[in-house]
Structure 1
Amino acid sequence: MSPSEALLTRLDTIARSLAASGQALALIGLGSVGRETARLDAWSDLDFFAIVEPCAKARYLDHLDWLDAAHPLAWHFRNTADGHKALMADGVFCEFAVFEPQELAAIPFAPGRLVWARDGVDPAIVEPRRPLPAATLPDETWIVGEALSNLLVGLQRWQRGEKLSAMRLVQGHALDRLIELDTLRAAPAPGDPFNRERRLEARQATLAAELPALAPGYTQTPAAALALLAALERRGALLNGAVVARIHALADG
């Protein structure tokens, strides 16, 4: 059995455990174990919704015996009001939420896959009534302006000795803006609606090849800032000369 098949089999086992638990109605697979199984691999998580009878939600959140019955749990914690993150003893990681049917109308989520449902449950339960908001990008003027300001302020903090803050501004926030700029221009295949850096290496190969220089680490923020500035220049971004000169002065200082 391949790792992908093993993960899908584990989700089926969780579904059987839910079915035997008495008050469960359905299990909805999401993400790579939902409708995107083509990208499932050995490093994927199990993301799912457990749908339970009205007034049963607390029982399924407070007592994870139904999940432990599918495979022993090594660790878990409640990360939201509705769900947990959990590590199974063999290394399978789960992230899930528990909902009662009446709650789903107010929950935005990507369409899922019905792994199991009790007889009589409407299969349309996997379709969100409140879909995720469309992923909209800012305009290029804002993206470039933010990137330049992140570089400038980040380098000022570097000079002050705030190296962690500097790294995050330059190699985090400014890099995020470069990702947005390439996304705005190239319109690559859709990524994760919650996180544009997910699967970037597969979607934006040119930018991915630049990443070693753009994110070299804690001690290399000035070099990263100059690499990011050069990346903006290569893309023909409209750059203010005074800001560019100030970034060079701070990086070389």
Structure 2
Amino acid sequence: MNKNTRADMSICSLARMDELTKFFKRYNGVKAIMGFGSLGDLRRFDDYSDLDFLLVCTSETRTELLENLDNMQAVAPIAYAGIEGEDTVKLLFMDGVLCDFGIVTEEQLQDIPHTSGRFLWKKDGFSDKYADSTVTQKEKIVEDNWCGNVLIEVYVGLLRELRGEKAAAFEKIQYEAVRKLLSGLYGNKNRDLADEFSSLRRAEQLGAAESILKEIMPGYGKNAEAARAIIRCLPEGEDLQKLLEHVNDLIKACEDRQTQD
């Protein structure tokens, strides 16, 4: 397969998942393998999907697997394998198949928030309940006071901009505030399509026009412009005039500083 193209990658990725399932279930301590995201709902699986799955195993097998990721070379040649946090593995095979998977115990699984998944394999007696979603945000994707929360994120970001922390300001305004804005505007329009963890996922499909996205996320060094664009997107009728005045004052201060520079 030409690694510079994603053509037919969905076929390759799903075949790789079958190979991985056979590989992992040979470990006596592995209790279940669960697919999530588009791997949990194959209707959404395409050439750009990664393999998002979870291994549930004994504590001893968890340690063994995390300490011996190179053993997965038996499945296919590996370009990169690394551990994020305590139990999340990011692994890229040489042919471009990307895996993002966790290795946890059954006890840990009970405390991990996750969307609905499907079992790729499980031992007899392993509870079906673990495939059910534990995420409660979906019932309330849109916060009650989302407009005010958007403006607070913008306000904090502008303070950081004025302090000279442009990167930190970018994070608050063009990431945190934008996430809350998109959630508020589109989160209830199609709950099946909306992502429980990030409103940036599938934002275009939910109705966010590219022209608007370009305005609210114009890039590093353009935080004041982003702040003004975000305010223009807020619906009228919210009783936030005093907060909005403070935000506008900070935007003006940022713009004045840019003029002086």
User: Normalised by the size of structure 1, how large is the TM-score?
Assistant: 0.81
Between the aligned partners of 1:7 and 1:217, the Cα distance in structure 2 is 33
Q: Is 1:127 matched up with 2:128?
A: no
Between the aligned partners of 1:224 and 1:11, the Cα distance in structure 2 is 41
Q: How far is the alpha carbon of 1:204 from its aligned partner?
A: 2.7
Note the residue ranges of structure 1 that are not aligned, 5 or more in a row: none
Between the aligned partners of 2:191 and 2:109, the Cα distance in structure 1 is 31
Match of residue 220 from structure 1: 222
- CA change 1:225–1:79 in 2 (3 A) is same
Match of residue 76 from structure 1: 81
- CA change 1:56–1:248 in 2 (3 A) is closer
Q: 1:243 aligns with which of 221, 246, 254?
A: 246
Aligned partners of 1:27 and 1:50 also within 8 Å? yes
Between the aligned partners of 2:213 and 2:237, the Cα distance in structure 1 is 18
Match of residue 205 from structure 1: 208
Q: How far is the alpha carbon of 1:243 from its aligned partner?
A: 3.2
- Larger mean CA deviation between 11-20 and 177-186 belongs to 177-186
Between the aligned partners of 1:108 and 1:222, the Cα distance in structure 2 is 35
Q: How far is the alpha carbon of 1:216 from its aligned partner?
A: 0.7
Between the aligned partners of 1:114 and 1:168, the Cα distance in structure 2 is 36
- CA change 1:87–1:148 in 2 (3 A) is same
Match of residue 21 from structure 2: 15
Aligned partners of 2:66 and 2:87 also within 8 Å? yes
Match of residue 199 from structure 2: 196
Q: How far is the alpha carbon of 1:248 from its aligned partner?
A: 5.4
How many residue pairs were aligned?
Answer: 245
Letter in 2 for 1:169: K
Between the aligned partners of 1:93 and 1:40, the Cα distance in structure 2 is 13
Letter in 2 for 1:194: F
Note the residue ranges of structure 2 that are not aligned, 5 or more in a row: 1-6, 257-261
| 1:2-31 CA-partner distances (Å, limit 9, x unpaired) | 322221111001011123445434322111
Aligned partners of 1:18 and 1:66 also within 8 Å? no
Aligned partners of 1:113 and 1:126 also within 8 Å? no
Letter in 2 for 1:179: L
Q: Is 1:139 matched up with 2:144?
A: yes
> What are the within-5 Å matches in structure 2 for residues 1-253 of structure 1?
2-34=8-40, 36-53=41-58, 55-101=60-106, 103-118=108-123, 120-122=124-126, 124=128, 126-128=130-132, 131-135=134-138, 136=140, 137-140=142-145, 143-183=146-186, 186=189, 188-206=191-209, 208-232=210-234, 235-238=235-238, 239-240=240-241, 242-243=245-246, 245-247=248-250, 249-250=252-253, 252-253=255-256
Between the aligned partners of 2:221 and 2:60, the Cα distance in structure 1 is 53
Letter in 2 for 1:38: R
| 1:51-93 CA-partner distances (Å, limit 9, x unpaired) | 3356422212211255222112222222233332212122222
Letter in 1 for 2:73: D
- CA change 1:211–1:83 in 2 (3 A) is closer
Between the aligned partners of 1:31 and 1:185, the Cα distance in structure 2 is 20
| 1:173-209 CA-partner distances (Å, limit 9, x unpaired) | 3222311321356455442222221111111334x44
Aligned partners of 1:45 and 1:94 also within 8 Å? yes
**SS of the counterpart of 1:178?**
helix
Aligned partners of 1:21 and 1:66 also within 8 Å? no
Q: How far is the alpha carbon of 1:114 from its aligned partner?
A: 2.1
Q: How far is the alpha carbon of 1:160 from its aligned partner?
A: 4.1
User: Normalised by the size of structure 2, how large is the TM-score?
Assistant: 0.79
Q: How far is the alpha carbon of 1:39 from its aligned partner?
A: 1.5
